[in-house]
Amino acid sequence: MPNSQITIKDIAKALNVSVSTVSRALNDSPDLSGATKQQVQEYARQHHYKPNLLALSMKKRESKTIGVIVPQIIHHFFSSVLEGMMDVAEREGFNVLLFRSRDSFEKEQHSVQQLISSQVCGVLTSIAKETTHYEHFQELVDNNIPVVFFDRICVDIPSNRVVIDDYAGALAATEYLIKTGCHRIAFFCSPLNLEISKNRRGGYLDALSKHGIPVDKDLIKICDNYDEAIPVATEMLQSENRPDAFFAVNDETALGILHATKHLHFKIPEEISICGFTDGFAAIASDPQLTTVGQSGQDVGRSAMELLVEKIRHKGDQPLIKNKIIKTKLIVRETTR
Amino acid sequence: MPNSQITIKDIAKALNVSVSTVSRALNDSPDLSGATKQQVQEYARQHHYKPNLLALSMKKRESKTIGVIVPQIIHHFFSSVLEGMMDVAEREGFNVLLFRSRDSFEKEQHSVQQLISSQVCGVLTSIAKETTHYEHFQELVDNNIPVVFFDRICVDIPSNRVVIDDYAGALAATEYLIKTGCHRIAFFCSPLNLEISKNRRGGYLDALSKHGIPVDKDLIKICDNYDEAIPVATEMLQSENRPDAFFAVNDETALGILHATKHLHFKIPEEISICGFTDGFAAIASDPQLTTVGQSGQDVGRSAMELLVEKIRHKGDQPLIKNKIIKTKLIVRETTR
């Protein structure tokens, strides 16, 4: 442990001055002679003196550390969110303590306990896929630690939220597929305990309904990754009543569908249209390039951090819950007509 | 700030027992009656008592927090490294304080100062592209804070290191291109102040030399991203003496080259071969799928965290510097013959 670090007391002893003199010299106080100040500052520099943030935190009963829990890190959306959070944290002078749930309820609970014990001044989180109970988040609120949920929010806890406009994004994508002549539109989504899945499904269903297209339950699958999408899409494409379009909740799934569709030699987009959701680098690297609903993870991260910092600085002032909605944008490329 | 949290003193006062009784009850000490223990534990539970990790850290003069500085987060390799680090940190009971240099020397220096002030028990870092002076890292060593460098290491600081076998990876890729009939192999790399660039260039040059192919400096470019690779590769492909293969230091650059090559209607891999370095998701999503040197970022992250934890636990025991080399693997797909 870094116990070789020198303290203000050590400096005072070495230079035979008082602790308060050292403290004032280090704070560049005007009521001290230039010579003493210089002597103390020089000694501190030479001996690598650093203010002890741990001790300062204890003294002020506050920390400048914000806890972040993400489901995973190797993931275009969540790494973009983290990048956006860091932009604001750096600008506002906060440090980030990082936790990862790996979509496990148990790990998420453990992370929350660690964050309470670490006395972070606020928490940003997107809930795990497994999570259906929220008592651990309530404990943050009970401990007077502000929480902002982003993307995968928890509606049962009174707190600020930053969400992607999932409903509008899914509605726009599905309507675009309908307007370009598709009628049997398959929908690949994540488990429905997540609000984002419910909202994206809502947008899909409302677009069908608006255009008088009946819902075919066989076209709706719980499938949200590249590897699973390949066999599921292959089976659908080989069925008698095959779809003429696919809309997937993320780009990885859409690219799995694209792979299966190309493998079966269907013409894209003439016979089959495909639309994803995210707009990561892989959407541009794919051939044909993927049409997708663009969502800015960095905007989500920045907004969530900004809402949290505001909440930390004005504790008590704001009983209102703020919801920030980040707009999506349909990016038409080559996998749709 | 979470100043509503109750302390051991508060519990003692509320139940009219001594602080030491509360402390023993919370530690489940056997020399206390069951009834008292239960009463204290029940009260602590109801009032959300949490041990104050900040105070514990102060008391023990140690922290269970490891500082990590990465150049960026939205990046397949660095997000993979972070994921691997979290695997080991969780298993070993350490928390991670995250910093990001954005490849800026100034931000990197600032992050190091913050980590020293936060009294982290160790630091993992990959240096910024801008960095050519290393005094700030020496300060960590002077403060007795163990450091492990990963990927972009600093050879001037005595510390453990985890590196990708860049030289061998580049040598194998270039030899593969030569053996499949390519003779004019262009090389797109990062700035040469980074050890990884020097090593990958070394592998490329030695493969040429081994097979008696003269070096053509016009075929070596400092260019390491998708957007810049498109015009640079286009110009090269339109020149009289065009290359018949490209080897790039990362997949993004290789995919930019692929885009330019397809746009000019060259046949891949018959006329032009392309090989990347990383093996991210985009290498699979691209069409044709990208041949690339696979490097496991998660293995790098895990190894770096393991070396650091070992160093923290056995401080003073190990004067030897450990270098861990993570092997690469050439993954032949469709962009090479």
- CATH (domain of A49): 1.10.260.40
Three-state DSSP class for residue B248: strand
Q: How big is chain B, counted in residues? A: 337
- Asked whether residue B60 carries a pLDDT value surpassing 60, the answer given is no
Domain identity same for B140 and B219: no
Residue B63 banded pLDDT, cuts 50, 70, 90: confident
The answer to whether B3 contacts A144, with C-beta atoms less than 8 Å apart, is: yes
The answer to whether B61 contacts A1, with C-beta atoms less than 8 Å apart, is: yes
Touching check for B79 and chain A: CB below 8 Å?
yes
More reliable by pLDDT, B318 or B246: B246
Domain identity same for B148 and B171: no
Pick the closest to residue B125 from B92, B107, B104, B100 (CA basis).
B100
Domain identity same for B67 and B53: no
Domain identity same for B156 and B265: no
- The answer to whether A276 and A292 have CB atoms below 8 angstroms apart is yes
The answer to whether B63 contacts A51, with C-beta atoms less than 8 Å apart, is: no
B155-214 residues touching A, CB cutoff 8 A: none
Residue B4 banded pLDDT, cuts 50, 70, 90: low
Q: What one-letter code names the amino acid at A133?
A: H
Give A-chain residues touching B93 at CB under 8 angstroms: none
- The answer to whether B217 and B249 have CB atoms below 8 angstroms apart is no
Domain identity same for A40 and A158: no
Tell me the average pLDDT across A76-82. Answer: 94
Domain identity same for A43 and A74: no
Instruction: Label residue B6 exposed, middle or buried (CB < 10 Å: 0-12, 13-18, 19+).
Output: middle
A24-53 residues touching B, CB cutoff 8 A: 48, 50-53
Task: For residue A332, tell me if it sits in a domain.
Answer: no
User: In this predicted structure, which of A91-105, A180-194, A231-245, A303-317 has the lowest mean pLDDT?
Assistant: A303-317
Averaged confidence pLDDT in chain B: 90
Is the alpha carbon torsion for B262, B268, B274, B278 positive or negative? positive
Give B-chain residues touching A55 at CB under 8 angstroms: 58
Tell me the average pLDDT across A267-288. Answer: 95
Touching check for A106 and chain B: CB below 8 Å?
no
Q: What one-letter code names the amino acid at A243?
A: P
Touching check for B289 and chain A: CB below 8 Å?
no
Q: Is the pTM of this model over 0.80?
A: no
Q: How big is chain A, counted in residues? A: 337
- The answer to whether A245 and A182 have CB atoms below 8 angstroms apart is yes
Q: What is the full DSSP assignment across A5-19?
A: ---HHHHHHHHT--H
Task: For residue B227, tell me if it sits in a domain.
Answer: yes
**pLDDT (tens digit, 9 = 90+) per residue, B136-177?**
999 998 888 999 999 988 888 888 999 999 999 999 999 999
Give the pLDDT confidence score for residue B3 in this predicted structure.
46
CATH number, domain of B274, equals 3.40.50.2300
With a CB cutoff of 8 Å and minimum separation 6, the contacts of A295 are: A77, A164, A169, A277, A278, A279, A326, A328
Domain identity same for A171 and A152: no
Q: Whole domain around residue A255: which residue ranges?
A: 166-296
> Which chain A residue is nearest to residue B257, measuring alpha carbons?
A285
Number of domains into which chain A is organized: 3
Task: For residue A334, tell me if it sits in a domain.
Answer: no
d(CA A112, CA A102): 14
Domain identity same for B73 and B121: yes
ipTM value of the model?
Answer: 0.77
Domain identity same for B219 and B232: yes
Task: For residue B270, tell me if it sits in a domain.
Answer: yes
